[in-house]
Chains A and B, each alone.
Chain A
Amino acid sequence: MFALVDCNNFYASCQRVFEPHLRNQPIVILSNNDGCVIARSNEAKALGVPMGAPAFEYQKLFEEKKIFVYSSNYALYGDMSSRVMNILSTYTPEMEVYSIDEAFLKFKGFELFDLEALGLDMQRKVTKGTGIPVSVGIAPTKALAKVANKIAKKFPERTKSVYSIDSEEKRIKALKWTKIEDVWGIGRKHAQRLRLKNVFNAYQFTQLSDEWVRKEMAVVGLRLKQELEGRPTLDLEVPKNKKMIATTRSFEKMYNRIEDISERVSTFTASCSEKLRKQQSHCNMIMVFVQTNYFRKDQPQYSRNIIINTDFPTNSTIDLNYYAQIGLKAIFKEGYQYKKAGVIVMGITPNNETQLSLFSSSNPKHQPLMSVIDKMNRGYGKNKIKFGTQCLDRQWKMKQERLSKCYTTKIKEVIHIQL
């Protein structure tokens, strides 16, 4: 059996734990640089704020409806997430942290346990111990656990936020209730195609023939069908190294000089290289892109990307920045107002599997240098040591105008209580 435990409106709930006046109030959380809405409380959803809404377009609605707006505070969310996950990990030895706010728990050999009672216990312990409300879905497969979780979340009173699909009757009822577009792993395109075939809910999907599903949706679709039928085909996944690492940002304001953008590109490259070293990998391709402001239709628009193969696999900031700057020079055009740039490294291989090149290789002095830089930045704070191409003053601080405090990770910012 599997359980999927999911935090309800996680980011908004994190804010609420430390700000009691937010109870029952609409809350939205903005992306990095305060660009667009990435999380909403139920109250904000009800007021019609869509996911991904650009903050500047909705500013008026926020004010009119008295919606509380926050910059994302990942120090807080990360700490609260690890508390939730730590408590959950005491229930079973097998757990997959699926995202910052959800985890699959596998219960193998728990036949003699009442899993629904266990689910109620973890729901209560996490909600009480961290202040973050969670919902628990229990079922024989991961895909059904997702469905069960949706039911628990939708009917908190009736289910006490825990729902278990433990009989054929419950499975069929749950699948009939689940709209096809809400099924885990079915994207918008597939949902559209399935509706044309008169498949409107998950149950109808399981009635299709295996051949059709395999032909139209490949083996991934077939696996999903079996999962929904109650036959486990997906196991917990062990964390793998990433296939791509990206750092992309919108700028605070628009820039038209290559010097300004070149600084951003080196900073993004440094960040990607650091992440590569952290997961002990090299890459052999780097992509750079630049973009003008899509929302300013009155200005000329331009966007372009370029992929450069490195001469040898590397994770040195010095090497990668060399290629990134060549790329930027190739795609940069005078006369545009640039709003966004990004760096993505690809072709990632673990350090011990890198393919050496016959004619060129990374300067052997880079590795020890990078490891000293990483160590110092870990110990003394992010970006204490930078490269000369990165800006040295604080001009580039991320826009976080509505940042809440780091209640759990900085002693100076803990809650203050008036007695």
Chain B
Amino acid sequence: MKLRSLHRTATLEFYFPDYSSKLDLPFYDVGISAGFPSPADDFIELTIDLNKEFIKNKDSTFFAKVKGHSMKDAGIYDGDLLIIDKSLEPQNNKIAICQIDGEFTVKRIRIEKDIVWLIAENEDYAPIRVSPENEFMIWGIVTNAIKTF
């Protein structure tokens, strides 16, 4: 979790509050005097919010379902759900959703001078060389894959 610092003093640090997603906090009613206080009271942490962990730019995040096996060595299998951030800049070696000649595909991108290679993570598939004749666009960068067992 990234916190945005607001102000820092010698003893205290302040942060901007972040209300971007709903967080259900555990509710502890300690009561006033009856019984023993719970020994866990001092150790209450926030619950884990997956939206916050995996979605950094909510307005440019999209999901896609995978069909096929060409990325199996990268750990992307048939049926996985991909989390895609469209706002991220394409970088060498990132896994990207690309549009090539009117079709979607997912590949690792290698950017060389004037050439882009789309590299499958499966030895049965040859790398694809993107040439100026291809209608090509990098649609978004894959940040995570969700698997269901």
Binding site for B on A (CB under 8 A): 20-21, 23, 82-84, 86-87, 125, 128-131, 407-408, 411, 414-419
Known contacts A125-B87, A129-B86; A416/B60 CB under 8 A: no
B94 contacts the other chain (CB 8 A): no
Please tell me if B66 contacts chain A, counting CB pairs below 8 Å: yes
Task: Provide the bound-state CA to CA distance between A86 and B60, in Å.
Answer: 10
Interface string of B112-124 (1 = CB under 8 A from A): 0000000010000
Give the Cβ gap from A325 to chain B, nearest Cβ, in Å: 42
A128 to B84, CA, bound (A): 13
| Cβ-defined contact, A408 with B62, below 8 A | yes
The answer to whether B102 touches A130, judged by C-beta atoms less than 8 angstroms apart, is: no
CA A414 to CA B86, docked complex, whole Å: 15
Q: Is the interface of A mostly helix, strand, loop or mixed?
A: helix
Contact A417 B59, beta carbon cutoff 8 Å: no
Cβ proximity bits B64-107 to A, threshold 8 Å, 1 near / 0 not: 11111111000010000110001100000000010100111111
Q: Is the CB of B59 within 8 A of A415?
A: no
Tell me if B86 and A130 are in contact (CB < 8 A).
yes
In the assembled complex, the Cα of A82 lies from the Cα of B59 at a distance in Å of 8
How many of B's residues come within 8 Å of A, CB to CB?
Answer: 31
| Max chain B C-beta neighbours (<10 A), residue from A82, A128, A419 | A419
Contact A419 B87 (CB under 8 A): no
CB <8 Å contact, A23 and B59: no
Closest residue of chain B to A412 (Cβ to Cβ) is B65
CB closest residue in chain A, given B102: A21
Residue among B57, B62, B106 making CB contact with A419, cutoff 8 Å:
B106
Determine which of B57, B58, B66 lies in contact with A417 in the assembled complex, contact meaning CB atoms within 8 Å.
B66
Cα separation A21 to B102 with both chains bound (whole Å): 4
Least CB distance, B4 to chain A, in whole angstroms = 14
Tell me the smallest distance from the CB of A214 to a CB of chain B, in Å. Answer: 44
Residue contact B60 to A419, C-beta cutoff 8 Å? no
A86, B76: Cα distance in complex, Å: 31
Residue of B76, B81, B135, B137 near A414 (CB, 8 A) is B81
Min CB gap A35→B, angstroms: 30
Residue of B60, B66, B68, B106 touching A129 (CB-CB under 8 A): B60
Contact present for A417 and B65 (CB under 8 Å)? yes
Cβ–Cβ contact A23 & B102, under 8 A: yes
| Chain A to chain B contacts (Cβ below 8 Å), 15 pairs | A20-B102, A21-B102, A21-B103, A23-B99, A83-B60, A84-B59, A86-B58, A129-B87, A411-B81, A414-B81, A415-B65, A416-B66, A417-B82, A417-B104, A419-B76
